[in-house]
Amino acid sequence: MNLQRSILKGNKLGKGFLQALPFWIASLITGVVAVLYTKLFEWAEHWGLLVFKAHGWLIFIIAPCSFLLAWLIVKQVEIYAKGSGIPQVMAAIELTTPQNDHHVKQLLNIRMMLVKIASSLLMIFGGGAIGREGPTIQIAGTVFRKIDEWLPASWPKISQKNMILTGAAAGLAAAFNTPLGGIVFAVEELARTHISQFKTAIFTAVIIAGLTAQAFLGPYLYLGYPVISPSSAYMLIAVLPVALVAGLGGSLTGLLILKILNWKEKLQSRYAELLYVLLCALLMCTIAYFVNDGILGSGKAEMSQLLFTGHKRIDWQIPIARTIGPILSFTTGASGGIFAPSLGAGATIGAYVAGLFDLSASNTNLLVLSGMVAFLTGITRSPFTSAILVLEMTDRHNVIFFLMLAGIAASLISSVVSKHSLYEYLKLRYIIKLQQEERTKIPEKNESD
């Protein structure tokens, strides 16, 4: 405390240091937690798929049990740990006022963080088509909010909204090892306003969280370095249809997820929800066992295969399976993100179209990356975030214009399906749910008085 007073008595630089310190500490913690979560997630996915490949019939036992436990822990312990986590962070940012602080705590708290991790690990072990990136963003937002909450009253004032938003950017950067993607995501998807007042905080948080993750995992790329030769302008003719199909697929996937979630809201019986979760698990088991096991997991294995092996020609059912998997997994109500599965679905669409035209390996890789950008844009409506993420995952700067074109084309076609992204709709659902819960508690309190 004496150190704090002496710094404050100094100059504006000292005050700026005190304001920046919580961001740095939270970023360091975020990097460590993201690394641990990554290791656990990869371990659970690896062992789940290993068991399935060794004894395929076991999936009919493991998947239903895992799905049910993942859903139950969210339902019974922390309902706001469900799903991706990005809509919860968006809702928290919008609700960040002194009057709504209790709502923000409901969305971002330590119990939620632990439930989020446990539920998503159960889902991925059971073959769920989920990702860890959305959960990492909600976890990072929680870390930053808790650091802000623990600051003494005498500490220089820091905007809680900026803390949470910066945490989300740091979380994405640590999850994908994509610092630029984290920054663009904060601006395009979360802030949607002028960020001049806290741009330094975002930059430093992303750097610290990313460097912390790299210290443990090494300077890795999420995917690697696919071979993509300089492409001729004629490849635009191939990129555009892939972008339109994948963008349309992403937006329709988001719309279908939303309709299923709205239908589930009308279910009055918990047993009906339980049966739905079991049905989703059994459908995934059946497709994996009898049709194609590409429906299982985050989709990273499929992306790596398409980009780095000679097995680039795929059957038509694989893109369908990679699209159905996230729908079945996400709508259970368990924890799990949709970033990586969306990239996986887009990659398979790009590979399938490339196979139809018998394109070279290099041009197939270009369409795979374009499909990834387009499908993710269809879900998030954030074309520049999608393009920058895929660019940083692969370090293929020579195709940046193709990726940006894919994102813009996907964004345009997606707007025909729905005006807003899946995240925007889910954010509004969380805000309405919190407000309804508060209204029901007020009469109860008055009756008790």
Contacts by residues 214-217 (CB-CB < 8 Å, ≥ 24 positions apart) = 214/177, 215/31, 216/31, 216/32, 216/35, 217/35, 217/38, 217/177
The strand pairing partners of 83, in sequence order, are: 335
Cβ neighbours around 84 below 10 Å, total: 26
Cβ neighbours around 355 below 10 Å, total: 16
Asked if residue 410 lies in contact with residue 374, where contact means CB atoms within 8 angstroms, the answer is yes
Asked if residue 145 lies in contact with residue 112, where contact means CB atoms within 8 angstroms, the answer is no
pLDDT at 115: 97
Q: What's the pTM?
A: 0.89
Asked if residue 133 lies in contact with residue 379, where contact means CB atoms within 8 angstroms, the answer is no
Residues 6+ apart with CB under 8 A from 93: 161, 164, 165, 168, 190
pLDDT at 4: 53
pLDDT digits (tens, 9 = 90+) for 133-177: 999 999 999 999 999 888 888 787 788 888 898 888 888 888 887
Best CA proximity match to 282, nearest among 329, 314, 213, 246: 329
pLDDT at 307: 92
DSSP type of residue 337: B
Residues 6+ apart with CB under 8 A from 173: 179, 181, 182, 183, 206, 209, 210, 213
Dist CA 280 CA 289 (whole Å): 14
Positions in the chain whose pLDDT score sits under 70? 1-16, 189-201, 203, 218-221, 231-232, 441-449
Dist CA 114 CA 73 (whole Å): 10
Domains belonging to the chain, first-starting first, are 2-217 (1.10.3080.10), 233-430 (1.10.3080.10)
Asked if residue 277 lies in contact with residue 68, where contact means CB atoms within 8 angstroms, the answer is yes
Dist CA 170 CA 109 (whole Å): 17
pLDDT at 370: 96
pLDDT at 448: 43
pLDDT at 194: 47
pLDDT at 246: 97
